[in-house]
Structure 1
């Protein structure tokens, strides 16, 4: 699907946004009709206004309690359920961010249609005055890409297909792409990516996309485990059911790249996206519990659980990225259940040693309703990731601080980057919410996009 606004038209119908408890604007000409129909202005509530001739004169739309901040601002996504027509904002009351309303509307248009055919056309919004339509559409398009990639089952989104999606995006953006696959991973020193993916029918690979020639460097590393059986430490069925989403980090990295290019934020910066794409499968040549792997960086890793494979493939990609010393490096990964236990599905933790970077990201996350929560690289837990017979342990025993120890593991391979941020995302919406239908969802991409001017100043022309 392509998110789009309606062109301006004299036939477009007015929408009057109304906060809960606020009076209906006099210009709506609604009279006693809203109270007679029980309209209160609660979030997402719609009151259609008759024109007295059997047609529609417009609609009231409930914004909810203005004291409730956060993602409820995307309640405007529910307005896409209005009758089929073109609509425009007749009023922008205090507290309504027109940009967020426009984005919410577009996000509310999303449907995953690959296996069900095209949905019926929906209501469209004329882009409000003062809103940069191209920017909002670029953000929505990046989010749609993330959702489509995550929602596609592994039968149609293995390493081959993920590479194809990356190549299509790179071609569309005029970016450069190289892919190292199969036995070439060993020849070019990516042993842990190879080890994790070698048992699958589709070869493991490292996808490397570059956009921009000059300026400060941002490298984004996305976990691309296209399906995770758990390997020889096989997952129970209840835990395996959603593992098509274990490439959510890679999907988010690609969606973020599209946002960066589409909004112009990539200008004056060098953007690199690295995706280790594998399937953690079971076969006679699968890597085993107790194996000791030697990483690209030279650090040895004892495999104490083959179901902690994501950090292994990320480690080789992070080590490669760090060799260039980018000013900022960000990893995105559906990495640990511990993060979900701590913060639930809505709030990904992020880790960063630099306070200014962390503060900028937190502010941006709040500003665009893309919530994140800072967690610590807790130094006293470092011994937990150091086993007896190797440099590192991929799955410390005890079950405590699982998200933190995973982040500490990754940080060992990010040394060399100017600043490093790790996001432990979920990538899935368990139940439908405004602008977020049940299924794959982007987490962190819009926050990073919003924060980027504070995180990485572009190189200006001389």
Structure 2
């Protein structure tokens, strides 16, 4: 099922989307035959319900899709996607306006219903396609679907086929497609270029660590995206239990999300100067792995005491953020699958973010609501700063006690950005179950909200 709209000239079946409280009004305008068919079928316009209505020759002449109640829609996202998933294969066109909801966002949900990760098993299903309705920017919606598909594909690919080199290859492919510049610092060269934390975290793996640096655009404000690219996380010498290691292929979800967002920005031609930095490593176990109790230097000059080798994401991000800060862009955004504490706090559906500027937070929250990409502001709570100061070094990568784990991680990262406005996302990057437009597996979080908000934020 393609993540694109059907051609406008396609012979498409009319599709009426009905809220539960609008079904009776719809039937008042229909023939007795149509009304009798709908009543006999038991169709009640619940979310995701569908019904094909045959014409005189027995072939379908129109289709109905349920949009449920306002209360039901408030408990989920993408009700049109639920309809798309239930319809038989074929092309459809919206024959009436949606009862509620943003048309462009709902159409994106329809396209994302076509996503399936079939690289290793299965085949893409031949599902329902939609003719782009009037009043939406179809090219933009298709670009958003492609950006999300890129993010999902990268996360879903198992670590044996998505190590640092493969993540670099994905970034190089993206750069080639959009004419961006890209450079990579790899292996021992990381030490020569003063990225000691990236090198230290990745040195125990047989797959060399690296820093990916991509740039696009020559005019407009400067935006730098930094994505955590830990392609697999064993926990290092603080080895994770097997149950916690099972989906650690997703620990490069921050990198996957910024690459998807970067694709959106470049495909839509946003008037800005974009830089993408991805520290790509595997946190492995070997004789040269870094140890609990080690004190490590960083690019910023700050020393870090290692109290847990499983808190490695903030280490590789620290060097990348320090590099980003040296350029003094207008905004730095980091995205990372950083802490389990964030999941405990807000669950899998919300993307927690940190920022000091209230107007930036307001702009992002408003944008997130408009595009159904929910985010939640968390505090850079300065009173917790002492928790990341161990005394024996400048910083502690894993404060003891277990309190405020996401906040202390964010405070740790903020220490490496001193010249630039900074925003940090502590995302999950994974859907534990299937929902409309979001199958189980890798998923982007916060990218569409950022894409919507960035123009306003960079004007402030």
TM-score of the superposed pair, with normalisation by structure 1: 0.96
Is 1:49 the counterpart of 2:71? The answer is no
1:104-183 maps to which residues of 2 (within 5 A)?
A: 104-183=109-188
SS of residue matched to 1:21: helix
Is 1:319 the counterpart of 2:328? The answer is no
- Cα distance between partner residues in 2 of 1:333 and 1:140: 21
- Cα distance between partner residues in 2 of 1:343 and 1:357: 21
SS of residue matched to 1:185: helix
- Cα distance between partner residues in 1 of 2:61 and 2:3: 26
- Cα distance between partner residues in 1 of 2:216 and 2:74: 33
- Does the C-alpha gap of structure 1 residues 28 and 329 become closer, same or farther in structure 2, counting only changes over 3 Å? farther
Number of equivalent positions? 455
* 1:215-245 deviation line (CA, Å, top 9, x unaligned): 2111000000000000000000010001000
CA apart distance, 1:393: 0.1
1:311-390 maps to which residues of 2 (within 5 A)?
A: 311-390=314-393
- Cα distance between partner residues in 1 of 2:328 and 2:73: 38
Shift >3 Å, 4+ stretches: 26-29, 67-73
Q: Which residue of 1 aligns with 2:92?
A: 87
CA apart distance, 1:253: 0.4
Gaps of 5+ in 2: none
SS of residue matched to 1:32: helix
Native 8 Å contact 1:70 1:369 kept in 2: no
- Does the C-alpha gap of structure 1 residues 39 and 379 become closer, same or farther in structure 2, counting only changes over 3 Å? same
Q: Which residue of 2 aligns with 1:250?
A: 255
Native 8 Å contact 1:2 1:141 kept in 2: no
- Does the C-alpha gap of structure 1 residues 304 and 382 become closer, same or farther in structure 2, counting only changes over 3 Å? same
Native 8 Å contact 2:355 2:422 kept in 1: yes
Native 8 Å contact 1:21 1:40 kept in 2: no
Q: Which residue of 2 aligns with 1:428?
A: 430
Gaps of 5+ in 1: none
**In angstroms, what is the RMSD of aligned CA positions?**
1.5
Native 8 Å contact 1:73 1:100 kept in 2: no
Q: Which residue of 2 aligns with 1:35?
A: 39
- Cα distance between partner residues in 1 of 2:424 and 2:47: 33
CA apart distance, 1:39: 1.3
SS of residue matched to 1:314: helix
SS of residue matched to 1:357: helix
Native 8 Å contact 1:20 1:66 kept in 2: no
Is 1:416 the counterpart of 2:419? The answer is yes
SS of residue matched to 1:14: strand
Q: Which residue of 1 aligns with 2:233?
A: 228
CA apart distance, 1:34: 2.1
- Cα distance between partner residues in 2 of 1:131 and 1:72: 22
